[in-house]
Every structure is written in C-alpha cells, then in structure tokens.
Chains A and B, each alone.
Chain A
Amino acid sequence: MSKKITVLVLVCLFGIGVVITPALADSYKIGAVFAVTGRASFLGDPEKKTAVMVADQINKAGGIGGKKLELIVYDTEGDATKANLAVKKLINQDKVCAVIGPSLSGTSMAVVPLAAQYKTPLISVAASYKITWDDKANKARHWVFKTPQTDTMAVEAIYTHLKKRGINKIAIMSVTSGFGKSGHGELVRLAPQYGMNIVADEFYGPKDTDMTAQLTKVKGLAPKAIVNWSIGPTQVVILRNWKDLGMTSIPFYQSHGFGSRKNIELAAGAAEGVYTPLGAINVAEILPTSHVQKNVTMQFFNDYSARYKEPLSSFGGHSWDAMHMVIKALRAVGCNRTAIRDFLENNTAGFVGQHGVFNYSQKDHIGLDKDAFLMIVVKNGDWALAQ
C-alpha cells in the first residue's frame, strides 16, 4: 500500500515538473550562491536580498528583451562543500546562464574549478584576489570574475593617503583572524613600495578584551600614524583604548572593515577623526552630485531602505554590481555562456557600479583599482570625505 502511494506521489511530482518546465522556458536563469545563514550571514543576507530586489525590478520593467529573469538562490551556510554542490546543481540541473557568488573567499575557491570544468561564467562576491587570479599559471582564471575590492586596494588607498600627508613612520596592528592576517600580509608587502617604515607590528586576538598593552608599546615607539586591520568588536575597543591613552594626536587608520555607522556609535565618541577607506555605496548620501557613482548609489540606497526597512549593508552592493553586469550581458548576447563571459571581459568597460567603476580586461578580472576606495574620515559622529 505504502509503496503504491510512494509511486503515485512520485508520478505526480514528475508530472508537475513536466508542466512547470515549459512554462519557465521563456526566461533567463541566473544562479546565485550566498552564505545566507551561518557565521557569514552578515554578507550573504544582504547579498541575497539585493539580488532578489534587482531581479524583481528588472521583471517589473519588462524583463530582459521580453523574457523574464529567473533568479535561483541557494544557501551555502558559508560551507565549502555545500557551495560546491549548489554550484554544480545550478549549472547542471537548473541550467543557469551564469553563477553569482559565493560570499566568502574560501567558498569561492572551492567552486572556482567548476566554472572552468562546466564552462560557465562565475562572478564571485568575495574579497581575495586569488579567486580570479591563478598564481601558478600567472594569469586570470578564464571563467571567473569578481566584484568586491581587494585588501590590496584598501592598503594602497591608505598608503597613498599617508604618503600625501608626508607620513612614512607607521605602526600596524592586526587581529589574528583570517581577515587580519590577509590585511597584515598586504600591509607588510606593500610598505616598501610606498616608502613606509613599519616601526611596530602588533597583534591581538578576535575576542580580546583590551588592547591597551599593545597600544602602550606603540606609544613608546612614537609612530606618525597607526593602521589597524580588524573586524568585529576589537576594532571598536582599540579606538577607545587609543583615546584613553591620549594618543589621538597619532592619526588612526582603520581597514575597510570599519564601514558601518554602528561602529562609530559603539566607539562612544572615540571614533572621531579616524580614517577609513570605503566604497562609494557606504557614503552615498555625502557624495557630491558631481561624483560619477552618486546616482546609482543613491538609487540603490533608497530602493533597498524602502523595500527592506533596514539600513543598507554595503555588502549588498557587491551582488548589485554582479547582477547588473550579468543582466547587461544577457541583454546583449542572450543566454550563451561563452558569449556572456566574453562580453563581461570585453564589453563592460566603464560600468558604473556600487563599489566603483569596473574595467574588466583579459588580464584583470577584478576590474577595480585603489580609486574604488574613497578616503573617509569620521567627523561629528558621521562619515565625511577626507581631504
């Protein structure tokens, strides 16, 4: 009996499948994998919400060349295995035209080989340059692009600003997590190029309660600026310690991980005068109207806040950039994976996105440079453009 029911149910399910498939054949499919839940949900959640919003907007405006845009999102939970399975499913079962995501550098590296294996364009929304650059072959990965800025660009933006102010004696501080280590590596690697003399190189744990000891040591070495690389509560605690120790005369530079107003609030006044490199979308409201990204960022800012009734997260901007570039490609060449890849590489130059103006090329699948970061200073408890 129960066997019969199972068979019946299966037949029904297949039946429905057959009915549904032709109904959707008249659509372009974009696949997306984000860490919607789990420890990296602060990335994946706004990325998914943004992608869903963009797809709805496109469909409301008549779709792409008369066809509907169908967005299929899977949750990786920040897990490499799940990301790998999800991308395989998107490519082989869902037959998507292109894949956007994953959210993390680690999960992105886990799916990068699939893009080449199945010849499908993949646009990652994670940070590491290694996602698009093959160190061994010393060339860009053919099928892989990415939208976020890299640590390298943030370091370059900070060092350029320091150099402009005539500062070359600096202390660097970093958290001993993946984010801090990656930033630390770039800070040390690029220092000679910019003539930076690192007089102190201090570390702290991601759950440390106090960084007074490290800062006291830094104070004794009298650097002309401090560059700090961390995310989470430590980047706020360190600012309070910096202020308490009377070190505010030493300019303090935070990484791009500082880009949330919540951090200014948590610092309880200690963030005043702190510099940080941020993408245009973080500071949409204060951009001058002449800024090339003013219109796109304000539009996204208003749409997102109106739809989700929550403050915009700049991470959503990475999936906005990826979605719109893929849509642009779909409009031009339709659902042809090879043509989409070629279009992204050759025909998206000058694309104005949320995090910069993109210029992909055969050698560069990141498409941004240090100008994608604006130098921001905390003034009167809010962001302001730094001189």
Chain B
Amino acid sequence: MEKITFASQLMQYLITGLTVGSIYAMVAIGFNIIYNVTEIINFAQGEFVMLGGLIMVFLHVAAGLPLLAAFPLTIILVTLAGMLLDRLAISPIRQPSVLTLIIATIGASIIIKGIAMFIWGKDPFDLPAFSGRNPIHLMGAVIQPQYLWVGGFLIIIVILLTFFFEKTIIGKAMSACAENPDAASLVGINVKHMILLSFSLSAAIGAVAGITITPISLMEYDRGAMLAIKGFGAVVLGGLGSFPGAILGGLILGTIESFGAGLIHSGYKDAFALIVLLAVLFIRPSGLLGSVEVSKFKRF
C-alpha cells in the first residue's frame, strides 16, 4: 500500500464530507418545502428517507425489478406515504396550531418506524451500487461511483425545484401560500391542496435521498431519526425556509463533520457541527441565508 500524503487526506475528507452533506441537504430541502407552506417542521422527514431506501431494496433486490423501473416506483410509493401522512395526521386536526401539527409529525414518524420494523425487521439491508463498486482515484483520494450519484441527484433536485417554483403556476401558488396563506386563499388558491402537494414533494425528495444513500451506508428501520436531526441542523444553519441555505447548510455540516473527524478527533465529530451551528446562530439568529424580516412574520 502506498503511503497517503496529507494533501490526499484533505481531498478525501472534502469528498466524503460533500457526499454526506449532500444527503443532509436533500433532507433539509424536504424540511423547507413543508415549512414554507405550513410553517411546521415535519419530524417524519427522516422516515421518508428510510422508506425510500427500504422500498427500493424490496422492489429492486427482493422483487427483482430493474433499477430504472424500481427507482420511479419507489418515489411514487414514498410520495403516496407522504400524501397519507398529510391526509391522516395533518389535515384532520381541527383548529391546528403549529405546535400540535409538529407533535402530530413526531407521532407519525414513530408509527412509520414501527410499521417499517414490522415489514422489514431490524436487520440492515443492502442495495447494489448503481454503477458498480470500483472506486475512482483522484489526486490520491478515492471516490466511490455512488458518491457521484448522490451529488448528481442533489443537483438534479435543485434544478427541478428551481424550475418548479420559478416557472410553473403551481409552484408560484405554493410560494404564495408560503408568503401569506390567507391572501393566497383569497385569490383562489386551495391551501389544503398546496399542503398536500408540499408533503408529496418532500416525501419524493426524501425517497431520492434514501435510494441514493442505501448503497453506501445500508438502510434499516430506525435510521430516519438521525438523518432528520442532521437535516434539521442543516436547515437551521442555512436559515429556515431558504433553499440555497438548506443546500449550503447541508454541505457545510457534512464537511465540518468529515474534517473534524479526520483532523481533530472523531469522538467529537457531531460536537463540531453543533458548535459551528451554535456560533452561527449567535451571530446570525436567522441562519446563514435566512432573513430576519421574514422570520418575524412566521409563527414558528
């Protein structure tokens, strides 16, 4: 084995950090979509990631569907789960306050986790990497092909979402709900439908995150909570409600963890991320790209 240089080590930390960060970013985007329309933090967001991974394993490995068929089908199924979550847990609540809705999502996440445990058991599951497991070498660092898929899908999601919110009527209607739900319903936008749509969208994004990460880290029924916490950290770091903030927050969080573990001490990996998060919140309480003016109008 050739000796690894310090520069290659740094390169490796960066690559690993960006990959893990991309997943955090995807979870963070999911948080933001729902937050922007409903002002609630959906604590079941991590469960969408878990479902995405496990349903994909079921369809692709157990049922033998080809990758190209299993991928969209998984997204559809998880999206349905997202819609069910809205219809069964969020929508039926009378006189909803933000707090009761958030508690409802916590309850839902426990139920989803329990159902997943019943269906798949407690063992972790593996998914074959999309394009093999032969690592690519770059400046002494190693890149798994799957890393590129994770990064690639993050970019695709960002492009599609930008197009959706900027160019389509529905997207603009959703943005309107985010700005002011009362005014939006006055101009004829069905806010309930928009909430349903926001849950579907973030479920779909969660599914993509789950599908792309399972070949790297395996997937089991109780992984959702941890991913949700990291994703939420990314949201707060970037600024609640800001899409560029979510991506930036996710990538920064992943990179800090990776460099912290490699250069300082791996035992305090999570602490470094939290320290940076706290420091940012001290200096900019609204997060890196969040706006204080906007947050004053929000209930949460």
**A217 CB within 8 Å of chain B:** yes
**A247 CB within 8 Å of chain B:** yes
Known A213-B16, A213-B266, A244-B142; judge A236-B133 contact (CB<8 A). Answer: no
In the bound complex, CA of A209 to CA of B6 (Å): 24
Contact among B12, B128, B213 with A209 in the assembled complex (CB-CB below 8 Å): B213
**A210 CB within 8 Å of chain B:** yes
**A207 CB within 8 Å of chain B:** yes
Among A28-36, A51-59, A198-206, the one that faces the other chain is A198-206
Known A210-B217, A266-B126; judge A205-B20 contact (CB<8 A). Answer: no
Beta-carbon contact of A217 and B142 below 8 Å: no
Contact among B6, B124, B142 with A220 in the assembled complex (CB-CB below 8 Å): B6
Instruction: Report B1-16 CB contacts with A as 1/0, cut-off 8 Å.
Output: 1011010010011011
Beta-carbon contact of B261 and A249 below 8 Å: no
Beta-carbon contact of B122 and A214 below 8 Å: no
**B216 CB within 8 Å of chain A:** yes
Among B97-105, B218-226, B239-247, the one that faces the other chain is B218-226
Q: Chain A contacts of B262 at CB under 8 A? A: 213-214, 216-217
In the bound complex, CA of A244 to CA of B225 (Å): 28
**B135 CB within 8 Å of chain A:** yes
Q: Chain A contacts of B6 at CB under 8 A? A: 220
Q: Chain B contacts of A232 at CB under 8 A? A: 124, 220
**A233 CB within 8 Å of chain B:** yes
Known A213-B16, A216-B13, A236-B218; judge A246-B142 contact (CB<8 A). Answer: yes
**B123 CB within 8 Å of chain A:** yes
Chain B contact surface mostly: helix
**A153 CB within 8 Å of chain B:** no
Q: Chain A contacts of B216 at CB under 8 A? A: 209-210, 237, 240
Q: Which of B3, B17, B216, B223 has the most CB of A within 10 A?
A: B216
**A72 CB within 8 Å of chain B:** no
Q: Chain A contacts of B87 at CB under 8 A? A: none
Q: Chain B contacts of A244 at CB under 8 A? A: 133, 135, 142, 144
Whole-angstrom distance between the Cβ of A229 and the nearest chain B Cβ: 13
Known A216-B13, A220-B4; judge A245-B269 contact (CB<8 A). Answer: no
Beta-carbon contact of B123 and A262 below 8 Å: yes
In the bound complex, CA of A219 to CA of B263 (Å): 13
**B270 CB within 8 Å of chain A:** yes
Number of B interface residues at 8 Å Cβ cutoff, please give it: 43
Whole-angstrom distance between the Cβ of B5 and the nearest chain A Cβ: 8
Instruction: Report B245-268 CB contacts with A as 1/0, cut-off 8 Å.
Output: 000000000000111011100110
Q: List the B residue with the shortest CB-CB distance to A219.
A: B4
Whole-angstrom distance between the Cβ of B232 and the nearest chain A Cβ: 15
Interface residues of B in 110-158 (CB under 8 A from A): 122-126, 128, 133, 135, 142, 144
Q: Which of B4, B128, B263 has the most CB of A within 10 A?
A: B4
Contact among B16, B142, B266 with A202 in the assembled complex (CB-CB below 8 Å): B266
Q: Chain A contacts of B225 at CB under 8 A? A: 207
**B23 CB within 8 Å of chain A:** yes
**B38 CB within 8 Å of chain A:** no
Whole-angstrom distance between the Cβ of A58 and the nearest chain B Cβ: 31
Beta-carbon contact of A213 and B258 below 8 Å: yes
Known A213-B13, A250-B1, A266-B126; judge A205-B269 contact (CB<8 A). Answer: yes
Known A210-B19, A236-B124; judge A217-B261 contact (CB<8 A). Answer: yes
Beta-carbon contact of B266 and A214 below 8 Å: yes
Whole-angstrom distance between the Cβ of A219 and the nearest chain B Cβ: 5
Q: Chain A contacts of B213 at CB under 8 A? A: 209
Q: Chain A contacts of B23 at CB under 8 A? A: 209
In the bound complex, CA of A250 to CA of B4 (Å): 14
Contact among A209, A246, A247, A268 with B217 in the assembled complex (CB-CB below 8 Å): A209
In the bound complex, CA of A237 to CA of B133 (Å): 13
Beta-carbon contact of B218 and A233 below 8 Å: yes
Beta-carbon contact of A204 and B269 below 8 Å: yes
**A42 CB within 8 Å of chain B:** yes
In the bound complex, CA of A266 to CA of B215 (Å): 10
Q: List the A residue with the shortest CB-CB distance to B12.
A: A216
Whole-angstrom distance between the Cβ of B265 and the nearest chain A Cβ: 8
Q: List the B residue with the shortest CB-CB distance to A176.
A: B267
**A212 CB within 8 Å of chain B:** yes
Contact among A210, A247, A266 with B1 in the assembled complex (CB-CB below 8 Å): A247
In the bound complex, CA of A311 to CA of B93 (Å): 46
Whole-angstrom distance between the Cβ of A65 and the nearest chain B Cβ: 41
Known A207-B226, A247-B1; judge A216-B9 contact (CB<8 A). Answer: yes
**A71 CB within 8 Å of chain B:** no
**A298 CB within 8 Å of chain B:** no
Whole-angstrom distance between the Cβ of A45 and the nearest chain B Cβ: 11
Known A209-B213, A220-B9, A237-B216; judge A203-B269 contact (CB<8 A). Answer: yes
Given contacts A216-B12, A220-B9, A247-B1, 14 further A-B contacts (CB under 8 A): A203-B266, A205-B226, A209-B23, A209-B216, A210-B20, A212-B258, A214-B262, A216-B16, A217-B261, A219-B1, A220-B3, A236-B124, A266-B218, A268-B126
B residues whose Cβ falls under 8 Å from a Cβ of A: 1, 3-4, 6, 9, 12-13, 15-17, 19-20, 23, 122-126, 128, 133, 135, 142, 144, 213, 216-218, 220, 222-223, 225-227, 257-259, 261-263, 266-267, 269-270
